[in-house]
Amino acid sequence: MKTHYLLTCLVTSTIVLFTSNALASDALQIFSGSSGAVTYDSVSGAYPVITAILSQPGSGDGYTYTTWSFLAADSTGSLDIYGALPSGTSFTPAVGDAISVSGTYSPYHQIPEIGTLAALSLISSGNAVSSPGVYTIPTLIASGTGAIPQGIAGQLVTLDNVSLYTDSAATIPVSGNFATHANVTLYAKDGSGNIMEIYDWASSYSTCGALGGTPEPTGLVDITGFVSQSGTYPPELTPFSIISVPEPTALSLCGGGALLALIFRLRRKA
């Protein structure tokens, strides 16, 4: 459910116009200027490895998810692979899979993405995956409304020891459950008073939708997710997981529960 507004000038003859980009590329080459048809594989010396599954087909929280979204990283960076699996794909993507993928490079809200997948092959499975980098709120929002730097865009990032609030001034603590059937906006504040938007993008990512009906944690949490930025809005973090600290208990990713009056920003990604 994601409508791509391509940041490059694409026309129906993209494959013809951009044949020079159809050669195999690493994340850095794709991220730094490619557009149109690309193949993401082992130019950098190692095939990209899936580091996180953000969404997969199925039903949950009142949504029917029809597309995949997973992050794949090589030694030069990370990209989001977003879309339906190509016809004939013989494996189910999983963390640790090394892959080769072809499709259209079409960034969305500054998330570097390969979509409209044309081919996806499994090279190997069970590969090691690094832990997400730990960042501060000032670092993640430093880009303002400019370009999100490559070291953050398309990567899993973690905020440690922040508190969740329902208002942009971060004065009203959360209380209750994550709302069901809705995208939800919360705000994280660190010990120095820095604030960042946390956008639970349930309409596009099944990991977000799975939070619907689960308790919103009070107290300090660690939030792992990915950063995006749209128009004049400041950068925001979409959660992949929220873990209460110091207790090592992750939020249960299951649906159902009471509605909570929160701030919603409706979006549609199809």
What whole-number distance in Å separates Cα of residue 123 and Cα of residue 109?
30
Give pTM, 2 decimals: 0.82
Higher model confidence: residue 14 or residue 63? 63
Q: pLDDT for 247-258, tens place per residue?
A: 544 444 433 332
CA torsion through residues 122, 63, 241, 138, sign: positive
Q: Which of 1-5, 108-112, 157-161 has the lowest mean pLDDT?
A: 1-5
- Domain at 14-124, CATH homologous superfamily: Nucleic acid-binding proteins (2.40.50.140)
Percent of the chain with pLDDT over 70: 82
Asked if 187 and 228 count as a contact pair (C-beta separation under 8 A), the reply is no
Residue 246: the pLDDT is: 80
Q: What is the mean pLDDT of residues 191-219?
A: 96
Asked if 20 and 30 count as a contact pair (C-beta separation under 8 A), the reply is no
Residue 2: the pLDDT is: 55
Q: What is the DSSP letter of 269?
A: B
Does the pLDDT of residue 265 top 70, yes or no? no
Q: pLDDT for 181-201, tens place per residue?
A: 999 999 999 999 999 999 999
Nearest to 156 by CA among 6, 27, 2, 53: 53
Residue 202: the pLDDT is: 96
Does the pLDDT of residue 260 top 50, yes or no? no
Residue 253: the pLDDT is: 40
Residue 34: the pLDDT is: 65
Mean pLDDT of the chain: 84
Query: Where in the sequence of the chain do the CATH 2.40.50.140 domains occur?
Result: 14-124
Strand ranges inside the chain, DSSP E: 24-25, 36-40, 49-55, 58-60, 63-65, 68-74, 77-83, 98-105, 113-124, 133-135, 157-165, 184-189, 195-200, 221-228, 236-244, 249-250
Q: Does domain 133-250 have CATH number 2.40.50?
A: yes
